[in-house]
Chains A and B, each alone.
Chain A
Amino acid sequence: MFNMLRGWISRAKGDSTGTPESRAVPGSVFEEIVLVAPAYDELTTLLCSWLEKIAQEERVACKRIFRETAEAGALDETLDLAERRRVLLVFYGHGTEEALLTARFNADSSARGLEGHFNEEILSHVDVGSKHSLAVVAYCCLSAKVLGAKVRRVTKGGRYLGYIGEIPFELDPQCRDAFKAPMERILKGLIGGRQEIDDQARADLLEAYYEEWREWTFGEYSEHERAIWVAMCLEEHMSRLSREV
């Protein structure tokens, strides 16, 4: 009874506790982990494969909403869950200022779009409210600007690690891992229950980007023909990372 009361008080304060045995990882601040990555173009397919791999490697109980299952409406259940438990939501894909994006999928799992554009919303700022307890990592353009601000301002203990501008990617097979490694390092800490989304996580992400940047500017990869371009892109990622979490 006392534990239940303590858990209720903590959740009402937007805190990260809850009964220990309900957490995705014992000792973790998150009670549920949801990983979302639609795949419908070259970039999202690659991003999805990265998040799938993290999910496999971390071996943590989490809900996986990948590829064609990541369609509009797929997060309705997650939002219901977030009314009762503290949810870590990780998204890899495309975004706008107000929403995380996906595509509409055909029966054969191919994406339906118009002139190469697939702008269905899988999570929008209008979907989140004060009843939700959400911590979000969004590896996509822009979403920290409006969606992220709302998550922080309105939801219980809301946290949002994301970007407030467009972030470029270089998908040349010899370069693409530069954009995989920094976020992967932080996510492994979050999913593994070793970290919260806080200023330290943001600082750690920046540090990971910086180490990658140094390799492409002065270090092991600086001789690559696209090294300057990769470094420029990493600088964009760093400068567009939202200052707040």
Chain B
Amino acid sequence: MAEMFEIPGVGELTVHGDTAAVAYRVLLLDDDDQWAKSTEEVLRAKGVGKVDRSRSVADADAQIQRERYDAVIADVLLQEVGPDHKGSDPTQGDEWLLRNKERLDTSYKVALTAYPGSIRDEGALRQEGIRVISKSEDEELDFYDELGERAQEKKRRIIDSVSELLKRMLAEGQVEGSSPSEERPLLTKESGVGERVAAEAANTFLEWVDSRGSKEQKSIWIGQERYSLEDLASEVEKGSELGERLLSMFLRHMRLRMGLGNPLSMKPQSEH
């Protein structure tokens, strides 16, 4: 998906929207392979970027420790429970959602069931804003449409945020070819771009990091130091030298993906 923007006095800007940066992320907790597979296909067709699957509450527990999800859909009756078990262990999907309500506080939580009578505490679910949806009815299909709309809205929000930021940079003269020498980061409070733009760039970068699921793994090496995405976000928040460098990298990348410049003609640093 590519969006065109008209920048007065500059021309057209193209923004490529289909990237993992704006992917809507869903976790399915269900032991029914067939249903899960068809649900995943439907969600992807609706524009949901990432669909993960857990077959058990134990697996789902591990999954939400590692990743953050925009929506979590839990089948109420899991194989280890069965429709005959009520009011006793092991955990049903609706109970799992209630148990993890704090960890999932920013996720859209949905309990899905073909047996509405199997819900153990509908009042508690309602109180916590956990929706109950019936399987195999129009309600389920409408729900998938809704998730698709949420996925599109998330993309739009992040792209708009970055586009606004870059439009402002263009208006302030920070266009390709007029950027300062690469010896200094492009974007600092002293670079002339302005504190307001710097703050917006930081917000956009932090939002991007926050939308990543696995932010804690220390898989990033810069020089001889190891970092996680969370560490990098922290540097940006602190306004450290590394943080400013990261923001410059981020903005340069956004500029390049919007067709403003060519990575092959980036100015190298000056050499002694």
* Interface residues, chain A, with chain B CB atoms under 8 Å away: 41-43, 94, 116-117, 141, 144-146, 149, 164-166, 168-172, 175, 206-207, 209-210, 213, 217-218, 222-229, 231-232, 234-236, 238-244
Contact = CB atoms under 8 A, between A and B. Distances in A.
Q: Which of A42, A166, A175, A210 has the most CB of B within 10 A?
A: A166
Contacts of A144: 271
A225 B253 contact: no
B23 A225 contact: yes
A175 B20 CA distance: 13
Interface in B188-241: 208, 212-214, 217, 219-224, 226, 229
B272 interface: yes
A169 B222 CA distance: 7
Interface string B238-272: 00000000000110110011000001101111011
Given A225-B212, A239-B269, A218 B226 contact: no
B208 to A, nearest CB: 7
Given A168-B221, A228-B20, A242-B271, A206 B253 contact: no
Contact of B268 (A164, A207, A224, A226): A164
Contact of B263 (A170, A172, A229, A238): A238
Nearest to A218: B16
Contact of A229 (B49, B229, B256, B264): B229
A192 B178 CA distance: 41
A24 B144 CA distance: 63
A165 B270 CA distance: 10
Nearest to B223: A166
Nearest to B224: A94
Interface of B: 16, 18-21, 23, 49-50, 182, 208, 212-214, 217, 219-224, 226, 229, 249-250, 252-253, 256-257, 263-264, 266-269, 271-272
Contacts, number: 105
A227 B222 contact: no
A231 B263 CA distance: 10
B224 A223 contact: no
Contacts of B249: 232, 235-236
A53 B28 CA distance: 40
Contact of A224 (B20, B208, B222): B20
Q: Which of B182, B250, B267, B271 has the most CB of A within 10 A?
A: B271
Contacts of B272: 145-146, 149
Given A149-B271, A169-B220, A232-B253, A239 B266 contact: yes
List 5 A-B pairs, minimum CB-CB distance, nearest first: A239-B266, A169-B221, A171-B219, A232-B249, A168-B222
Contact of A239 (B212, B219, B229, B268): B268
A82 to B, nearest CB: 24
Given A41-B224, A172-B217, 14 more contacts: A42-B221, A145-B272, A146-B272, A168-B222, A170-B219, A170-B220, A172-B219, A218-B16, A223-B19, A224-B20, A227-B20, A228-B20, A235-B263, A239-B268
A231 B253 contact: yes
6 contacts: A169-B221, A218-B16, A228-B21, A228-B250, A228-B253, A239-B268
Contact of B226 (A42, A145, A149, A165): A42
B271 A222 contact: no
Nearest to A166: B223
B124 to A, nearest CB: 33
Contacts of A141: 223
A53 B222 CA distance: 24
Given A170-B220, A235-B252, A145 B23 contact: no
Contacts of A170: 219-220
